[in-house]
Amino acid sequence: MFALLMLVSLIQLAIAVAVAGLVGELFRQLLEDASVGQAHLPLLGGAILATVLAEFARRRLTEALGLDYALSVRMVLLERLLRRTVRGPKPRSRGSQLLPFVGDLTALRMWWADGIARGSSAALIATGILGWLFFKNITLGWWVLAWSGATLALMVAIARPYHRATSRQRRLRGSMTALISDRVAAAHSVMGMGGMRRELNRTEKRIGRMNAASMKRATWSGSMRGLAAAFPLAGFFILLQLAASGSRAGAIAPYEIAGLLTLMGILAGSVADIGRAIELAIPARISGRRLHGRLSEIEPVMPDNATGKAATKAILQLDAFALSPKASGFSAKARKGDIIALEGGPDDDPGRMIEAIAGLQPPAQGELTVSGRQAIGLGQRQRRQWLGIAAAWTPILQGKLPENLFYRMRRGAGLDEIEPLMRKLGLAHLCGQDGQPIALSLREEGSKLSPQDLAAVRLVRALIGSPRLLLLDRATHDLTEAQLRGLAEIIAGWRGVVVMVADSPEIRALCNRCWRIADTGIVEVESSASVTPLHASMDAGRD
């Protein structure tokens, strides 16, 4: 696409030179006979139309280059954000995470579109015009080149203080936004303690400082644009002086001056485009640093491409595994038919174990593999086929109900098993006459569903496709007794491994193994003696 842009720029250059020659010839004929010049009007109209079409194509190409760049960065950033561990350092606010998708990336997109792409095109056109001026008159070419170079050099010199002003303005804007966000979040404290006027005054002062920095930034950017505006006026004066001198010497025909003035106008537009590219480079550089920082703070997790042992009988295997660096390592294997309960005291959240098994956070020690592959490095296809997860931290997505239920499945897969699952889990009222889920629109967190239906939808999404490893983290708390009986029937005949943090006696009674999580590490205990109601163990810890 960049090569096509350069081709369009060369076409624009050819049109500019042709129009300059046409204008000069038209001016000559008009001087001789006013009626003769009318014959060239259709040709001049065609040249104007060609100029419009070439500029139209040039603009679309530069914008397409910027959008392609923004698309590639957005995809990388989104992938990094989705690969973030569920637990770990305190995540940024949602607005802060989304800022690079809009604010920072807009500056970079404009730099690629109107900076690099259009600036390169303008440089090519300007070089061609200067070459043509050298061809017509060497002295004229040198003077115009010197003025063009001096103008661009001044713009580059202004870029340094412009960079400082822009950086300060961005810092003050971020500080002001952070203050407002914090005070809005703590509105009860501000209003309850009579601090509203104080916060308004503080915010007004910060906005004043930000506006002062913005005005200083506007001073330097205005200086750049002033140079771009002054370039054609001074250029016309230089050209007229030298062209008149050349005309008296017989080196330039008088009528050619009109064509040279046309070229000077086009050259002025190219210099303005180059100046605009210099101006856009400053905010783009600042945004690029911010974006690079965001990408570097989110470590990518690459899929494990190693070939697992296809013949292994262990679906889940732990080798010297620990959730804490100070805990003892735990080794175990889980095979088809194992239903494992996870226990933990009031200070030991067993849900962390579910997240580690799902490969959403790396182990502090040892290894955890699913069918011979590192859980943390499972690819997207393997996750869809091997893992089924139902937990409060796997929320319902905005969209249609079928989209949520079939989220792990390929298009058209799972249609035959969706109706039995929905009926057993009490979602028959969400099935249509064809047995398929109705196209109910769900808002954020499934706000249109009752708590019972919401829990059942999470379970159906995890159960469909019969994944070899089913992970349940307090997924049954809101289910009715009928729904619990249906889920117990499904789990009792599960043809894989089930690992759960159970919160209902009916489901907990199905477990045939139990792993207890403590500060010292994980241990396996007798299932029948150890599995106690989760809320009861936490109440005992509080006592």
For the residues of 168-198, what is the DSSP string, one character each?
HHHHHHHHHHHHHHHHHHTHHHHHHTT-HHH
More confident residue, 145 or 88: 145
Q: Is 1 helix (H, G, I), strand (E, B) or coil?
A: coil
pTM beyond 0.85: the answer is no
363-389 pLDDT, tens digit each: 888 999 998 888 888 888 888 889 999
* Residue 370: strand, helix, or coil: strand
Higher-pLDDT residue of 118, 486? 486
DSSP conformation class of 253: -
How far is 249 from 253, CA to CA, in rounded Å?
10
Domains, the chain, ranges and CATH?
2-297 (1.20.1560.10), 314-542 (3.40.50.300)
Name every residue whose Cβ is closer than 8 Å to that of residue 429 and which is 6 or more positions away in sequence. Answer: none
Write down the pLDDT at residue 232: 83
Q: How far apart are the first and last CA of the chain?
A: 70
Tokens 């104080």 belong to: 198
pLDDT digits (tens, 9 = 90+) for 452-500: 988 999 899 999 988 999 999 988 888 999 999 999 999 998 989 999 9
Q: pLDDT higher for 332 or 68?
A: 332
CA-to-CA distance for 163 and 283, rounded, in angstroms?
Answer: 8
What is the spatial distance between Cα 497 and Cα 251, in angstroms, rounded to a whole number?
Answer: 92
pLDDT of the residue at 499: 93
Which strand (E) or helix (H) includes residue 525? strand 521-525
Helix axes 41-82, 2-32, angle to 10 degrees: 160
- pLDDT > 90: percent of the chain: 13
Instruction: State mean pLDDT over 261-289.
Output: 85
Hey, what are 83's tokens?
A: 């690969």
Cα distance between residue 15 and residue 37, in whole Å: 20
Task: Give buried/exposed letters for 149-167 (b at 16+ CB in 10 A, else e).
Answer: eebbebbeebbeebbebbb
Q: How confident is the model at residue 543 (pLDDT cuts 50, 70, 90)?
A: very low
Strands 339-344 and 497-501: parallel
Residues 203-261 have pLDDT tens digits of 889 889 999 999 998 999 888 888 888 888 888 888 788 777 777 777 777 777 778 88
Please tell me the distance from the alpha carbon of residue 517 to that of residue 519, in angstroms, as a whole number. 7
In one-letter notation, the amino acid at residue 388 is G
C-alpha dihedral (281, 283, 286, 291), degrees to nearest 10:
-100
Mean pLDDT (the chain) is 80
pLDDT over 60 at 537, yes or no: no
Res 296 pLDDT > 70: no
Calculate mean pLDDT across residues 336-349. Answer: 82
Amino acid at 117: A
Which residues, 6 or more positions from 78, have their beta carbon under 8 angstroms from its beta carbon?
A: 101
Provide DSSP, 128-165. HHHHHHHHH-HHHHHHHHHHHHHHHHHHHHHHHHHHHH
pLDDT at 469: 93
At 366, which amino acid appears?
A: G
CB 155 within 8 A of CB 224: yes
pLDDT tens, residue by residue, 501-534: 988 888 888 999 999 888 888 888 886 544 444 4
E strand or H helix that includes residue 365: strand 365-370
Confidence tier at 27 by pLDDT (50, 70, 90): confident
